[in-house]
Amino acid sequence: MTKGTAVFLSPKCYLLDGADSDNPDGTKRALKGINNETLISREEFLNALYDNTVIKKRQVRMKRDLKKFKICNISETKKALNSVYYKMKVSDDFISCSPHL
């Protein structure tokens, strides 16, 4: 990524926001335990980082019904972004980090 912004809440929870020729949408999200179809905006990532808010999203997942021997879809609300992660701020040298307060 050569331009744009990045927000990293944890190793498996981040947003890269910057358009290029390979990705015209310009957004790459990694959300552990959340479907890729669940849309989370840049502002929601920033709210989780700076305002310590918990972002919850409704999503559909498949579950096995062992009694009826079939698979059914369940709609549930999960924490998509959690504000509890240990957050670090990258210094101007782009190497050292300090706790994000």
Task: Give tens-digit pLDDT for 25-49.
Answer: 677 888 888 887 788 888 888 888 8
Residue type, 60: V
Domain assignment of residue 72, yes or no: yes
What per-residue confidence (pLDDT) applies to 3?
A: 72
Residues of the domain holding 51: 5-88
Q: Which one has a higher pLDDT value, 3 or 57? A: 57
In a domain, 49, yes or no: yes
Q: Is residue 99 part of a domain?
A: no
Domain count, the chain: 1
Long-range Cβ contact pairs of 49-53 (< 8 A, separation 24 or more) = 49/7, 49/9, 49/83, 49/87, 49/100, 51/83, 52/83, 53/81, 53/83
Residue 84, pLDDT above cutoff 80: no
| Residue that wins the pLDDT comparison between 67 and 3 | 67
In a domain, 27, yes or no: yes
Tell me if the pTM is above 0.75: no
Cα 56 to the chain's mean position, in Å? 11
